[in-house]
Structure 1
Amino acid sequence: MAKPAGEDPIRNLATRRAIAATRGEKVSRTVARLVARTIADDGLSPGASLPSEQEMAKNFGVGRASVREGLRLLEVQGLVTVRQGLGGGPSVAEPTGAAFGDTMSMYLQANDIRFAEVIEAVVQMEGLTAAMAADKVARGDVDPDVLRGLEPEDHDAASNREFIEESLGFHDSLRQLAGNYPVALMASALAHLYSDRALGYHATEWSDMERDAFDEQHAEIARAVLAGDAVAARDLAIAHMRESVTIVLGENPTIARDRVDWK
C-alpha cells in the first residue's frame, strides 16, 4: 500500500528544500503543486486519505494557513476533497471532465466566449474521438469492456433521464476507446459544458422519433468504429452532433449567443 504523503523523511527534507527554494511563488501554490505531485508519484487512488493539515504543515515546514490555502486550490480544481468535522480531513478526489469543464468555464467567461464556439468545439472533438477510436480498433488494441459500451440500446421504455444518460454514455465509451487521456479529458469537459447548458433547454421528453434517430446514428457510428473506418466514424459522429445541436437550438436559438459563465 502506498504511504500517505509526508511519511518518508528523505522526501520530507527534499520537500522542505523545494519550498525553501521557491522564488516568486506563493507558498500555498507550492504546497498544492507538491501534494498533487505526491498523489501522482505514489499512485494514490480516489478516496485515499492524505495527511492532516497539521501533519502537512509539520512535514513541509510551513504554516497551517498555507497548507489550508493550498488544499483549497486543489479542491477547486477537483483533485482533492476536504471533509470537515470528526473523521474528516483531506483525501484524493476523482478528477472528472465535468470538474475540468467547470474550471475551463472560468477562462471562457474571462475571454467573453459565446456558446457557439463551445458547440463547434464539441462537434469537432466528438468527431476526433470517434476517428481515434476507429484507428485503435484497426490496430487491434481494444478493451472488450469499453466495446460493450458501443452496443445498441433499446430506449423505448427508458425515461427521459435514462435516455440522456445512456446517450451521453455512448460518447463517453468512444472517448475511452480513443485511448488518449488528454483528448478524452478535453472532449469530456466540452461535452459537460454543452450538455449542462443546452440539454436543459430541450422539451421535457425526447420524442420516439428523436430517440430512434439517435439510436440509429449511434449504431452507424459504432459500426464504423468496429470496422476500423476512421474517416466514416468521424463524419458520422460530426453529422450526429450537428443534428443534436440543430434540435436543441431549434427550441432555443439564443443559446449560441449566450456567454459562457463560470460555474
Structure 2
Amino acid sequence: MTNPAQSSDFESKQDSMLEGLGKIKVPKSSDVLAERLKKEILSDAYPPGSMLPTERELVTTTGLSRGSVREALRILEAQGLVATRAGRYGGTTVSMPSDDQLAGQINIFARGRSIPLTALAEVRLALEPMVASLAAQRRTAEDLTALREISDRIDQTAIEIDDLEEFLMENVNWHDALAAASHNDLLCALATSVSGLMFEASKLREFASLELRQRVCLAHRKILEAIEGRDSERARRRAEIDIEAYARILDSAAKGSVTTA
C-alpha cells in the first residue's frame, strides 16, 4: 500500500520538474526556411539579381509543404531580400533592401511611438553635421551639380507664395542629395529616412513665410559653399547652425508663437 506521505512527495517533485521544463516553443517550418535562405543570400551564395530555386525545387529539397515554402518567400520579400513575380516566366529574384524600405520602417516606428518633433530635430542634429562634413571631403562633380540644381529650384519656389508644397519637397531633395554626397551608404540611408519625417513635420503654416523660406535658401547656400571649398569643418558647423535654427522654428510653432531663426 502506497504511503500518502511518499505519494505527496513524489507529486511535489513531479510538479517541480514540470515547472522547470517550461513551455517549449517550436519554430514554424516557414520561419526556419526563411532564416536559412536569408543566411545564404547575405553570404553571397545568391548575389543580387540571381534566381532562387523554384517553389517546386524547395519543396522537394526541404520536404516542406508548398504553403510553408511560399510563406518563407513572403517573409523574405517583406524584408526586401527577394522579389517574386508570378506567371510562366516568373520566379523569385534576390534583391537588397532599399532606402525606401528603411524609411518606411522608421516612419512607422516614429508614428507608432508618437515621436515628438523635438526628437526629430535631435536626430538631425546628430546626423546631418557629420553628413555635411563627409560631403565636403568626398563630393564629386556630379554631387555638386545635383546640389546646385536643387538649390536653384529651391530659390525659385522660395519667392512664390503658392508653391509651399514644392518648396518643402525640394528642401527634402536637397538634404537627400547632401546625404548622397557623403558616400556612406548606411549614413545616407538613415539621413534620407529622417528627411521624409522632416517633410511631414515641416507642413506647418509657419513655413509659408517668404522670409523664412529665404533664410532656408541662404543656409543651404552657405553649406554648399563649404562643400565646394572642401572645408569639412565649416560644412559641419553650417549644418549645425541650420538644424538648430530649424529646431527653434519647430519649438516656436509648438508653442504657438513664431519667431524667425
**Shared fold (TM-score, shorter chain, > 0.5):** yes
Q: Which residue of structure 1 aligns with residue 202 of structure 2?
A: 199
Q: Which residue of structure 1 aligns with residue 41 of structure 2?
A: 38
Residue 143 (str. 1) matches residue 145 (str. 2): no
Q: Which residue of structure 2 aligns with residue 261 of structure 1?
A: none
Shift in Å at residue 206 of structure 1?
A: 3.0
Residue 233 (str. 1) matches residue 235 (str. 2): yes
Q: Which residue of structure 1 aligns with residue 77 of structure 2?
A: 75
Shift in Å at residue 88 of structure 1?
A: 6.6
In 2: Cα distance, 1:130 partner to 1:219 partner: 12
CA RMSD of aligned residues (A): 3.6
Q: Counterpart of 2:208 in 1: which secondary structure?
A: coil
Residue 99 (str. 1) matches residue 98 (str. 2): no
Conserved? CA contact 2:47–2:94, under 8 Å: no
Q: 1:150 to 1:251 in 2, by over 3 A?
A: same
Conserved? CA contact 2:176–2:195, under 8 Å: no
Higher relative contact order (CA 8 A, sep 6+): 1
Q: Counterpart of 1:179 in 2: which secondary structure?
A: coil
Structural mapping, 1:1-263, within 5 Å: 26-36=28-38, 37-38=40-41, 41=44, 42-45=46-49, 53-82=55-84, 90-91=92-93, 95-104=97-106, 114-136=116-138, 142-151=139-148, 152-155=151-154, 156-157=156-157, 159-196=163-200, 198-200=201-203, 202-203=204-205, 206-252=208-254
Shift in Å at residue 185 of structure 1?
A: 1.6
Shift in Å at residue 92 of structure 1?
A: 5.3
In 1: Cα distance, 2:80 partner to 2:59 partner: 22
Amino acid at match of 2:41: T
Shift in Å at residue 218 of structure 1?
A: 1.0
In 1: Cα distance, 2:107 partner to 2:217 partner: 30
| Residues 116-148 of structure 1, C-alpha deviations (whole Å, 9 max, x = no match) | 333301222111111111232xxxxx4322221
Q: Which residue of structure 1 aligns with residue 19 of structure 2?
A: none
Conserved? CA contact 2:206–2:253, under 8 Å: no
TM-score, normalising length from structure 1?
0.66
Structure 1: segments with no counterpart, 5+ residues: 1-23, 137-141, 255-263
Q: 1:205 to 1:217 in 2, by over 3 A?
A: closer
Amino acid at match of 2:144: L
Q: 1:132 to 1:90 in 2, by over 3 A?
A: same
| Residues 62-95 of structure 1, C-alpha deviations (whole Å, 9 max, x = no match) | 3333333333333333444456788776555663
Shift in Å at residue 111 of structure 1?
A: 7.5
Q: How many residues align?
A: 223
In 1: Cα distance, 2:56 partner to 2:141 partner: 45
Conserved? CA contact 1:49–1:92, under 8 Å: yes
In 2: Cα distance, 1:96 partner to 1:206 partner: 32
Conserved? CA contact 1:124–1:238, under 8 Å: no
In 1: Cα distance, 2:210 partner to 2:114 partner: 37
Structure 2: segments with no counterpart, 5+ residues: 1-25, 257-261
- Structure with higher Rg: it is 2
Identity between Structure 1 and Structure 2 (%): 25
In 2: Cα distance, 1:85 partner to 1:246 partner: 54
Amino acid at match of 1:117: A
Q: 1:106 to 1:56 in 2, by over 3 A?
A: farther
